[in-house]
Amino acid sequence: MGALHQGHRQLIASAQACGNGKEPAAVLVSAFVNPLQFGPDEDFESYPRDIDADCLIAETSGAAAIWAPSVEQVFPAGAASHFRLQVPRKHQEHLCGAVRPGHFDGVATVVARLLALVLPDALVLGEKDWQQLVILRQLVDDLGLKVRLHGVPTVRESDGLACSSRNRYLTNKQRQQAVALPRLLNRAARDVMDGGSVDLPRMQLEWEQLGLAVEYLEVVDPSRLQPVKVEQKLCLLAAALRVGETRLIDHVFLMTRQPIVAIDGPAGAGKSTVTRAFAQRLGLLYLDTGAMYRAVTWLAQQQAVDSDDALALEAMLENFQLELDPSQSGSQRVRVNGHDVTDAIRSPDVTAGVSAIAAHACVRQALTAQQQQMGRRGGLVAEGRDIGTAVFPDAELKVFLTASSAERARRRAVDLEQRGFPVPDLLELESQIQERDRLDSTREVAPLLQADDATELITDGMVIEEVIEALIALFRMQVPEEVWPTPAC
Ligand code: CDP
């Protein structure tokens, strides 16, 4: 809406980085004070407008152009004569949506209109207005708009106050009061990280004692925007306060560890390839749990332990040392009792035997404990069969990655060929895959199952890059840049 500040400079810089890797993207700054998003008692008339200052900031930040249309240019027939969008109720029931009726309908309507007029490749928005970001993500998704959406972490002034056009309304004294907004939010985030809890009534009281009026203070799920208890999972603590006439919003994300992503799915769905690339793009540790079950199978085959003999397997596990370095480089080396078995565990013999071994409770117990230990601090993506259901049931993002068995057989054939193994015919491969799925999904302990809160991603007809992008988009719906920044390439 214009009145550009340091936060917008950062948006412009991030937008430039959305280029093709060779040259920066051409950035268009839109500066439009949108009448549709102001309530009757809000500050539409007095909202700061300074187009000359905006042009200067846009230009010196690297923008190619600034577009500051009049209300008549955006809504030539008058706002009342144009289509309006309605944001789903559940997205507006809390936070700003609850105290500013119609606000997000106005935002969605004008953003859809701006996108339709400009047709940009990417839309860059600040995470400061997190609710707006969530709503616009769904808008882009629901309307099938061909635009990538990027969130940018909140930029703060040196005293911690989030940059906002409305900060310029504050007097010196109000400014000193206002810094208690980020201060108390940060304290709450630290308390939760240290294993403590958040005392909302106390926070509210403290603000009120400092002369700040609390409009809302809520803990919600970051993507559903519905209230949650502060628990294991990442959640959003958001507040709106009034300092005199000025309304300020801010938030923090509460968490007890870094985020975890669980990717489950049937055999040969391409999980390893896409998960490895996804981990690399986001700087997450990559944990291929299938490799762990394969490693146990390899040892059992080496020692001629019968895969039906639970007691013998249990005894074998007493002398089973599995080392694996969940790495960010994408290649996960696997060592069993000091031997590097990275390639050996991919043999057709191991593949044929692994599901029987993986069905044993003693095997699952040992490997699940090791996996949970590796994920203690988070910052990891694990793939397998039971990650979202048994290993990390509190993962921030759960994806069930699948494809038809014919498609999976085709992919498995390519993989075998690349690894130099003999390739059976496709029908034979398909029936092997189906048999493994059957064993994995019918075993008693931790069967292959889509978690209730997992998103299903069916990848038939999708190229690898599309799957990776879809995973990144799902991740960003749950985990903001503020919590887990995308590493610079
Ligand atoms: O062949 P593909 O790459 O699809 O499978 P994998 O991820 O290497 O897993 C091999 C086998 O390990 C699966 O068929 C399961 O029997 C077992 N597994 C499991 O039971 N639980 C996991 N979390 C991962 C794998």
Same structural domain for residues 209 and 284? Answer: no
Same structural domain for residues 323 and 472? Answer: yes
Query: Which has the higher per-residue pLDDT, 155 or 80?
Result: 155
Residue nearest to atom 25 of ligand 1 (CA): 290
Q: Which residue has the tokens 């029987």?
A: 356
Using alpha carbons only, give the angle 29, 34, 35 rounded to the nearest 5 degrees.
Answer: 165
What is the Å distance from ligand 1's center to 335 Cα?
17
What is the Å distance from ligand 1's center to 412 Cα?
13
| Domain interval for residue 358 | 260-478
d(CA 158, CA 163): 10
Residue nearest to atom 14 of ligand 1 (CA): 355
d(CA 2, CA 236): 27
Q: What's the pLDDT tens digit per position in 334-369?
A: 999 999 999 999 999 999 999 999 999 999 999 999
Strand order, beta sheet including 339-340: 322-324, 334-336, 339-340
Residue that is last in its domain, among 199, 219, 254:
254
Q: What is the pTM of this model?
A: 0.92
Residue that is last in its domain, among 121, 152, 183:
152
d(CA 58, CA 330): 39
d(CA 185, CA 236): 10
**How would you class 206 by CB atoms within 10 Å of its CB: exposed for 0-12, middle for 13-18, buried for 19 or more?**
middle
pLDDT at 21: 78
In sequence order, which residues have a C-beta less than 8 Å from that of residue 162 and are 6 or more positions away? 7, 128, 154, 155, 156, 182, 248, 249, 250
Give the residue, out of 289, 400, 441, with the most ligand 1 atoms within 8 A of its beta carbon, to mutate for a pocket test: 289
Same structural domain for residues 13 and 127? Answer: yes
Same structural domain for residues 351 and 250? Answer: no
CATH number where 320 lies: 3.40.50.300
Closest ligand 1 atom, residue 355 Cα: 16
d(CA 106, CA 100): 11
Residue that is last in its domain, among 128, 152, 176:
152
CATH number where 92 lies: 3.40.50.620
d(CA 155, CA 475): 22
CATH number where 190 lies: 3.30.1300.10
Q: What's the pLDDT tens digit per position in 188-211?
A: 999 999 999 999 999 999 999 999
Least confident of 21-25, 39-43, 231-235: 231-235
Count of CB atoms situated within 10 Å of the CB of 52: 7
Residue nearest to atom 9 of ligand 1 (CA): 290
Residue 328 has pLDDT above 60, yes or no: no
Q: What's the pLDDT tens digit per position in 164-178?
A: 999 999 999 999 999
> Which runs of E-coded beta strand occur in 289-368?
322-324, 334-336, 339-340
Catalytic residue status for 8: yes
Looking at the domain assignment, is residue 483 inside a domain?
no
The response to whether residue 443 sits with its C-beta less than 6 Å from ligand 1 reads no
What's the domain count of the chain? 3
Residue nearest to atom 21 of ligand 1 (CA): 385
d(CA 402, CA 458): 5
